[in-house]
Each structure stands twice: as structure tokens, then as C-alpha cells.
Structure 1
Amino acid sequence: MASSQKNLSDYSSKNISNISDKRFAVIVSEWNEEVTEALYSGAYETLISNGASRDNIIRKNVPGSFELTLAAQWMAQKDDVDAVICIGCVIQGETKHFDFICSAVAHGITEVGLKYNKPVIFGVLTPNNQKQALDRAGGKHGNKGDEAAITAIKMLGF
């Protein structure tokens, strides 16, 4: 379902397990910082409101969304990290750069999760413009960061 038809911050409380002892790595792209900071805030607050300890949320920054995959791998390989949440925003431009970056990041994040057999969550916006990004980073369509955090929590309870 398109986010224009569903609020990204609305979620079912089914299958939410106790996460008080779980450790989360949240990797945040510095590119499109206005958007990614809002996404991080959503993810962080959702983790806290669902029982995560502040001490168990590790934040790491990377220059751009392309670098999310390697940082995710570095964090996923740690035995004391239970889930990795990747936060980024790639806005469509005039060149094919958007397509290459989005494809590489989606594929890379999937591969890291499969390699380390733990949740590695795609919290990356791929909008056509800045307005669409802001609408999905706490605006009228909710916050993709909330959705990414809930996805990590639910996957840990699988």
C-alpha cells in the first residue's frame, strides 16, 4: 500500500515482544539531514515507547545512504546487537544516480540481514521531491522512522 493511503506511524500492537534487553543499532545518513534527523527521532521515540532502554540504542552516522550497507554490516556482525535500523533519504533527481543508489542500498541491506540472520531494516525514503520526503518524516503521512522501529521490534519477536 502506498504511504499516501496509510499513515506510516500507525501500527498494530500485535506481536510486540519485550525489548527491554534488546540492543538496536540505528544508522543514520547525513545526506538530506533535515529528513533523516526527523526519521531518526521517530525511530528512537518508538523504540523507547515500546520498552527499549536508552543505553541499548546505538546511533552511528554515515555520509550518505550508499554507506548504510557497510555500516549495517559492521553493526550486524556484533554479537551484542540484536537489530539494525538503516535510516536514509534519496530524493529523485535528473539523472539515473537515484536508481543506482536505491537499488544498491535495498539489495545491500537485504544481504546484510540474510548474512547475519538478524533484522536489518530498510528505513530509507525514496521520494520524488523534498515535500514528499517531509510528508513521510513526521508530516501528513506519518514517520517512516516509526515504521522502521516497529518492524525491527516485530522481527525480534518472530
Structure 2
Amino acid sequence: MATQLKSLSDFSHTTIPDGRKYRFGIVTAQWNAEITGALYNGAVLLLEKQGVLPENIIEITVPGSFELTSGADILLSKKDLDAVICLGCVIKGETPHFDFICNAVANGISQVSIKYNKPVVFGVLTTNTLEQAQARAGGKHGNKGEEAAATALLMADLQKNLND
């Protein structure tokens, strides 16, 4: 596999917009905290590197990835935000639980985005093993939290430019 050989968090092909004029929400699942904490740190570092002020990053935690949808909905109903980043980690086990959670979270995040007409970004790792999650949370394959933050900036900028 090509992904075994490289970092997936390569932004050399795109320009990430300046974030000074934007406000973001980050919803982070507490389950698999070692992984989701690393995703959160990656997201915040990228946002701040792009000029987003710390006071314009609203963070909440939810128990697990399934609750990311509710967390995003709560944030968008209470705060004026340009985008919400959902960060979680679901690791495949021996039962179909993995499939149900992953499908529910992906569909739920899409529905919240449509409901509010705001970007809601899927920054959820869906891996077979803990090692795969670690590799994508700041390891050899980059940091999916950074990728989610870059996506949020790009989508917020797209929406603003189309509305101007």
C-alpha cells in the first residue's frame, strides 16, 4: 500500500487560507483519549499556525465518537461558528459495533452540516488496530487532526467567498 510509505498530511498541493477572520468549533471524543488528544493538538496547532486566534476556537468534549454528531449540533445551535471539526477514533473489534458506529457518525455529521449549512468536518479515524490509529494521529502517516483543520479552513473560506 502506498500509505505505508508516506505521511498522509501533505498540504504541498494546496494553499491553506488565513484563518484570522474565522471561528471554529472542535468536538473531541473522549474515548481513545490518547489518539483523540493527539488529533485535537494537531488541529489546534494548524488552526493557530494559519492565524486563528485561540479565543476563536471553541472546544467541547463528548463521551465517544457516536456523540460527535450531537456535540456538533449543540455547538452550532449555541455559537456563531464558520465550521466545526469532529475528532474521534473507532477501532475495529470482533463485533459489528464498529460498522454501526462508523456509519452513524458519518451520516450524522453530514446531516448536521446540511441542517446548519455550515461545514462539519469528519476527522474520525476508523482503523483496524491501535497501531494504525497512532500512525494517523501524529505518527508516520501524519495527523488526521491537522487534515481536518485544513479542511475546515478551506471549506469556511469557500463558503465565505461564495457568499461575498
SS at match of 1:21: coil
Runs of 4 or more off by more than 4 Å in structure 1?
none
**Corresponding position of 1:116:** 116
Q: Structure 2: which 5+ runs fail to align?
A: 159-164
Q: Please give the alpha-carbon distance, in whole angstroms, between the structure 2 residues aligned to 1:97 and 1:14.
A: 36
**Corresponding position of 2:53:** 53
Q: Please give the alpha-carbon distance, in whole angstroms, between the structure 1 residues aligned to 2:148 and 2:69.
A: 16
Q: Which stretch of the first structure deviates more once superposed, 50-59 or 8-17?
A: 8-17
**Cα RMSD (Å):** 1.7
SS at match of 1:138: strand
Amino acid at match of 2:20: S
**Corresponding position of 1:69:** 69
Amino acid at match of 1:107: N
Q: Which stretch of the first structure deviates more once superposed, 3-12 or 42-51?
A: 3-12
Identity %: 56
Q: Please give the alpha-carbon distance, in whole angstroms, between the structure 2 residues aligned to 1:22 and 1:28.
A: 19
- What is the Cα deviation at residue 17 of structure 1? 2.8
SS at match of 1:77: helix
CA 1:79–1:37 in 2, change beyond 3 Å: closer, same or farther?
A: closer
The C-alpha deviation readout for 1:52-109, integer Å capped at 9, x for no partner, is: 0011011100000000001111112345111100000000000000000000000000
The alignment's TM-score, normalised by the length of structure 1, stands at 0.94
Amino acid at match of 1:50: Q
Amino acid at match of 1:29: A
Contact kept? 2:6, 2:140, Cα under 8 Å: no
Q: Structure 1: which 5+ runs fail to align?
A: none
**Corresponding position of 1:26:** 26
The alignment's TM-score, normalised by the length of structure 2, stands at 0.90
**Corresponding position of 1:105:** 105
